[in-house]
Homo-oligomer: A and B are copies of this chain.
Amino acid sequence: MQYSKSTDYALHALLHMAHTRRRDNIGIKELAASLGVSESYLSKIMSKLRQDGIVRAVPGANGGYELAKPPGRITFLDVVRVIEGRQRLFECSNANSRQHRMLAEESGSEPAGDLPDSDECLVKQVMDGAERHLHQYLQEHTIQSLLDAAASRERSRTAGRK
């Protein structure tokens, strides 16, 4: 289980845009060259970011992309959600298995009507908790966090110089 390269590209593209801040926007050509990725593929990713309101796009000569929000308001979770989609970290494919029926019967739920829901799966409940933890962390980190980290790294280097 691994985040896709697309997520990697998206995050690096946003970092690049936030880092090399200037008045005009950045074309896909420069962006792709900077990241070492093909323009074709990166443009798909940028389109997704635009559709989700993370970046703005201007077609035509001297067009390109720019951040649609301040870097502090673009969280890692935002990016992951757009690129990776909304699928859950874990899905129980055994909802109607004999095991779940057994557990449901034991706990004495009414036999009529209520099929054992996937939400009743104990394994999934734990995994959903894991997903919540992961997402909370991703929500607490933004593109601005990257800029801060870069600045901090710079500072410590300068201070430690002989």
Give the distance in Å from the alpha carbon of A96 to the alpha carbon of B36 in the complex. Answer: 8
B90 touching A8 by the CB < 8 A rule? yes
A contact face: mostly helix, strand, loop, or mixed: helix
Q: Which residues of chain A (23-74) have a CB below 8 Å from chain B?
A: 33-37
> Please, which residues of chain B bring their CB within 8 A of the CB of A7?
90
| Residue pair B34, A157 in contact (C-beta under 8 Å) | no
**A157 to nearest B CB, angstroms?**
5
Complex CA distance for A150 and B120, rounded to whole angstroms: 10
- The reply on A134 being an interface residue by CB < 8 A is yes
Contact assessment for A130 and B138 in the assembled complex, using a CB-CB cutoff below 8 Å: yes
Binary interface profile of A, 115-126, with partner B (CB < 8 Å = 1, else 0)?
Answer: 000000011011
Assess whether A157 is in contact with B94, with CB atoms less than 8 Å apart: no
How many copies of this chain does one complex carry? 2
Please give the distance in Å from A97's CB to the nearest CB on chain B: 5
Min CB gap A151→B, angstroms: 9
Does A153 have its Cβ within 8 Å of any Cβ on chain B?
yes
Bound complex: CA A7 to CA B122 (Å): 14
Which chain B residues border A12 with CB–CB below 8 Å? 92, 94, 97, 99, 123
Known: A15-B122, A99-B15. A1 touches B150 (CB 8 A): no
Given contacts A12-B92, A34-B99, A126-B145, 15 further A-B contacts (CB under 8 A): A1-B89, A3-B90, A12-B97, A12-B99, A15-B99, A15-B123, A16-B99, A37-B94, A107-B154, A123-B146, A126-B141, A126-B146, A130-B138, A133-B134, A134-B137
